[in-house]
Structure 1
Amino acid sequence: MSAPPAGIPEADWLATPASIRSLILAQQQEIQALRQENDELRSQLTALASELAQLRERIGRSSRNSSKPPSSDGPGFKPPERRKGSGRKRGGQLGHPGSGPELLPFERVDEVVEHHPDACRRCGTLLAGEDPDPLRHQVIEIPPITPLVIEHRLHRLVCPCCSTSICATLPADVEASPYGPRLSALVGLLGSVFPLSFSKTQALLDQLLGVEISRGAIAKVRERLSAVLAEPMAQALEAARQQPVAYVDETGAPTGNADGNNPSGKRGWQWVMVTAAVTVFLQGLSRSTAAAIELLGSTFGGIVVSDRFSAYNHLPIQQRQLCWAHLIRDLTAIAERPGASAEFGAELLGLQQQLFYHGHRYKHGTIDWHGLQQSCRPIRQAFEARLQQVVELGYQRGERTPWAKTVRTAQQILQLADGLWTFLETPGFEPTNNAAERALRQSVIQRKISHGVQSRQGAICRSRLLTVTTTLRQQGRDVWQFLEQAWIAHHRGGVMPSLLPDPESAAQSTAC
């Protein structure tokens, strides 16, 4: 005889008819099976709810709450609300003096055409004389452009005494290449400052200058220009490693295997280091600590402003400033999650806004350095305490819910918490690496146009051109002139121009 079910005395169970007992046991088994099925369904529902939350968060990722670029935001993306306008129409307002095209100085005028009125419009009397202060109207036009072609003829003569054949040689100041320094510099300029594709560069040179050049010749010219820039590039990299502050970042840079140096088909990465003096780019196949050391050098002693990427973890935390712009996106993602995450995220964003408020007060001179430190000390304590509270609440191991992601993010931030506040201990730099992200935009544009480079030499050429053009624009110098002077110095001899700024301009320049 079977044992009585839980909660039924044995005497009562024995007194129950056998048919009823069988029915009760069957119902008990069915209840047990339903309970087990219910537990399984609850588990599946929890897993599906977690997966749904992850998918919603993934779909909702944008440039505001992740590292995605603004160009990836879809058409349905709603940007943050901007401040309300003044209600006035766009453009110049009533009473605005306006600014038309300025007249060029007389030294730059190539031709003057005088216009005199013939007769009085009222009575018809003939007029003569000169207006000492006539109205001036200038028309700027581009003359037809034709390339200057110089043909060098090397004559071969036979010695009348010994019958030796002697051929003349090109002078040292004559290019061995069929393309001169200024044209070669322009080809480099059209692939860097103006990121044109090979076909568009070819078309522009043909239609605008009347220069027919093949794509292969364009590649050869840029390859030679890359060799020309090796010395200024090395000098700039060494100077950047001596700067007190460096803003660094990296982005994908597809690299082909045309030369056999990328047989495994690695993606390739473009690294950048922005300093007050120069901006340096390096492209390689790795996004690792070794690649970061290759950029910064093994003895870099300044402060590195970056995101929380682990490649920079080899640096002492005292030398790091974590980017608050990246952190704001992480906090925004937390605030947009359901449940307790939203509350914690909103509080952390509120503390961040207080921090930046005092930072703006310091920039505008309403508080001094000591006042900034005093104002931000309680914000730092509250910020770290809130993160610690999130971590202490914890999550179950293996859990993949939105809350678990929030806890993991809080743990990652706390591990590098001291690196959030370096800008409050050392004045003179920004707590974001926006300068590096702005510098990388040119590389991203080139990547979208050309889909990367096909060889290691192409990667080196692109990095050197980006270094030269970005640094010179940062210093307000003429890129085309620099490339031409560097080409002449390399191929004909002379002093190679430097990417380092003059001491006076270097003292006034800033990285941001």
Structure 2
Amino acid sequence: MNEALRENHEALREENEALHEENEELREANQELRHENKQLKAKLRWHEGPHTPPSKEQSSSGESSSSDDEDDDGGARTDGGTPGRKPGHDPAFRNAPDPDREVEVTCGCCPECGEDLDESEGVSPRLVEEIPDPQPPEATQYNRHYYECDACGAETVASHPDCPDEGQFGVNVIAQATLSKYEHRLPHRKTADRFEQLHGLEFSGASAWRATERAARAGRCEYEHIRTQIQHADVVHVDETGHKLDGEQTWIWTFRTDQHTLYAVRESRGSDVPEEVLGEDFDGTIVCDGWTAYPAFSRNLQRCWAHILREAEDVAEDHDQAEPIYRTLKQMYVGLQSWLETDPSERQRTRMHESARKGLEELVNRSVSDGPVATLLGKIERGLDHWLPFVGEPAVSPTNNAAENALREPVILRKLIGTLRNERGMFVHETALTLLATWSQQGRNPYEELQRVVRNNEMISPDQAVPEVASG
């Protein structure tokens, strides 16, 4: 009996030693994985910091947005979602147009045996949409008569809406060249190739550039009109991103409302730019991120919750003290969003604003050690007056996604063109982007609108075309 117990004890001891060795190996492997994970997180934070817009963040799992975890969070997403139709949504089909003509397609004999066929048994219709062949260019000579007034001696040259004041290319060429650059993202050389291949029009890259400049000069009055509309808006989303002008650092700013989008390229990233674009007397609400230029310009701010949630999540990944802060912020944001969907009264909004403000004050009064967690709480505290305007004002959005979305197209073009060559290029860039973005918002056809502004023949002179770049 004792021998059996001794053998059993020996076997258990050997098994325990084996398990201990296996545990040590797993511990070492776990430490290596932790180290590797930390390095990967550092690289990820370098490439995609907390201020990375949601459109650039991709779901690592590839799962549908209707997963259980996301439902538990109230549907608040921090990634870009998944492409395609979401589960439960009806598919969208393209509306079939009415046919412009009908062609009877018949068959005289059987393709299998060659026997003559009798009358048709029925019709199998197929609707095909086609575009006409590209047309060759038309050369029109406009004999513009000029006159001298007998009364005052003023000389007048007659004008025609299809004859631009300068250059040899017409309205359609100018409009298509501009769309090729700023809608289809073609280099000027490729635009010239397209005109020659499709229409047989002798066109150069320099001609394409001059055409876009003429379109911008013709549309500058409308650009200023858009600026005026934004200056009188109640809510404006503002954001900025870097760009190069002749290799030097500049910034492209966007100012977006529900009906208008304006771009401005400036050397400054300071508060002087919003002051210049919006005017000193602007009294609307600015939706923005935490950049210091905005509070230096206005006290009526709505800070972006998407930014602070991403930053809190980023800090919480490395610091346990930040995890309850991130959780509290997210629960507050999701709860407020759900509550606002009930269409509360103005009095209810005021009470909720006060309650949420107290919640944020309690959050920032937490005792934490110095470091990233304290920095995070400091950012929340400095923005206490700017986190909750959306609770009391129905027209205000809690995030700055509208402005970030507006910067997507300039960022793509920046990757393609690298740098603007000079201030004339800056002028064309901001004007064309503004007009096309605004027309798209308003559901207007950009080609028809470009034709309209060029036909107005209100081109400003080249000297007037180049604005002074605000420096700072």
Distance in 1 (alpha carbons) for counterparts of 2:255 and 2:332: 26
1:435-456 alpha-carbon deviations (Å, 9 max, x no partner): 0000010100100111131111
* Residue of structure 2 in register with 1:104 after alignment: 97
Distance in 1 (alpha carbons) for counterparts of 2:183 and 2:224: 20
Distance in 2 (alpha carbons) for counterparts of 1:228 and 1:251: 27
Which of 237, 248, 254 is 1:272 aligned to?
254
1:440 and 2:407 matched: yes
Going from structure 1 to structure 2, the CA distance change for 1:213 and 1:304 (only over 3 Å counts) comes to: same
Distance in 1 (alpha carbons) for counterparts of 2:85 and 2:276: 51
Going from structure 1 to structure 2, the CA distance change for 1:305 and 1:63 (only over 3 Å counts) comes to: farther
**What are the within-5 Å matches in structure 2 for residues 167-186 of structure 1?**
172-173=160-161, 174-175=163-164, 176-186=166-176
Question: SS at 1:61's partner residue?
Answer: helix
Cα displacement (A) at 1:420: 0.8
* Residue of structure 1 in register with 2:306 after alignment: 325
Cα displacement (A) at 1:213: 1.5
Distance in 2 (alpha carbons) for counterparts of 1:408 and 1:100: 50
Distance in 2 (alpha carbons) for counterparts of 1:485 and 1:245: 29
Cα displacement (A) at 1:207: 2.6
Greater alpha carbon shift after TM alignment, 140-149 vs 325-334 = 140-149
Cα displacement (A) at 1:486: 0.5
**What are the within-5 Å matches in structure 2 for residues 49-448 of structure 1?**
58-61=42-45, 65-68=49-52, 78=60, 83=65, 102-106=95-99, 109=100, 111-115=101-105, 126-127=118-119, 135-152=124-141, 172-173=160-161, 174-175=163-164, 176-256=166-246, 266-317=248-299, 319-338=300-319, 342-343=320-321, 345-365=322-342, 370-371=347-348, 374=351, 377-390=354-367, 393=368, 395=370, 404-448=371-415
Going from structure 1 to structure 2, the CA distance change for 1:352 and 1:371 (only over 3 Å counts) comes to: farther
TM-score by length of 2: 0.72
1:451 and 2:428 matched: no
Contact 1:119–1:127 (Cα < 8 Å) also in 2? no
Distance in 1 (alpha carbons) for counterparts of 2:295 and 2:84: 49
Cα displacement (A) at 1:197: 2.0
Going from structure 1 to structure 2, the CA distance change for 1:119 and 1:254 (only over 3 Å counts) comes to: closer
TM-score by length of 1: 0.67
Q: What amino acid is the match of 1:250?
A: E
Contact 2:107–2:117 (Cα < 8 Å) also in 1? no
Q: What amino acid is the match of 1:183?
A: V
Aligned length: 392
Cα displacement (A) at 1:113: 1.6
Contact 2:238–2:286 (Cα < 8 Å) also in 1? yes
Distance in 1 (alpha carbons) for counterparts of 2:292 and 2:264: 18
Cα displacement (A) at 1:382: 2.9
Cα displacement (A) at 1:221: 1.0
Question: SS at 1:465's partner residue?
Answer: helix
Q: What amino acid is the match of 2:119?
A: L
Question: SS at 2:236's partner residue?
Answer: strand
Gap runs ≥5 in structure 2: 1-35, 69-82, 145-156, 461-472
Going from structure 1 to structure 2, the CA distance change for 1:322 and 1:98 (only over 3 Å counts) comes to: closer
Cα displacement (A) at 1:119: 9.3
Distance in 2 (alpha carbons) for counterparts of 1:337 and 1:215: 52
Gap runs ≥5 in structure 1: 1-51, 156-168, 257-264, 396-403, 494-512
* Residue of structure 2 in register with 1:161 after alignment: none
Contact 2:192–2:204 (Cα < 8 Å) also in 1? yes
Going from structure 1 to structure 2, the CA distance change for 1:99 and 1:448 (only over 3 Å counts) comes to: closer
Cα displacement (A) at 1:118: 6.3
Distance in 1 (alpha carbons) for counterparts of 2:226 and 2:236: 13
Going from structure 1 to structure 2, the CA distance change for 1:374 and 1:349 (only over 3 Å counts) comes to: farther
Cα displacement (A) at 1:138: 2.2
Distance in 1 (alpha carbons) for counterparts of 2:366 and 2:385: 17
Distance in 2 (alpha carbons) for counterparts of 1:172 and 1:427: 48
Question: SS at 2:182's partner residue?
Answer: coil
Q: What amino acid is the match of 1:380?
A: R
Distance in 1 (alpha carbons) for counterparts of 2:106 and 2:64: 55
Going from structure 1 to structure 2, the CA distance change for 1:53 and 1:420 (only over 3 Å counts) comes to: farther
Cα displacement (A) at 1:350: 1.9
Distance in 2 (alpha carbons) for counterparts of 1:126 and 1:57: 74
Q: What amino acid is the match of 2:267?
A: L
Q: What is the RMSD computed on CA atoms of the aligned residues?
A: 3.9
Larger radius of gyration: 1
Distance in 2 (alpha carbons) for counterparts of 1:296 and 1:143: 46
* Residue of structure 2 in register with 1:26 after alignment: none
Cα displacement (A) at 1:125: 8.6
Contact 2:353–2:388 (Cα < 8 Å) also in 1? no
Which of 444, 457, 465 is 1:477 aligned to?
444
Q: What amino acid is the match of 1:177?
A: G
Distance in 2 (alpha carbons) for counterparts of 1:91 and 1:301: 41
Contact 2:357–2:384 (Cα < 8 Å) also in 1? no
Cα displacement (A) at 1:424: 1.7
Post-superposition, which runs of at least 4 consecutive aligned residues in structure 1 deviate over 6 A? 52-57, 70-74, 90-93, 96-100, 117-121
Q: What amino acid is the match of 1:180?
A: G
Contact 2:241–2:251 (Cα < 8 Å) also in 1? yes
Q: What amino acid is the match of 1:142?
A: I
Distance in 2 (alpha carbons) for counterparts of 1:292 and 1:492: 27
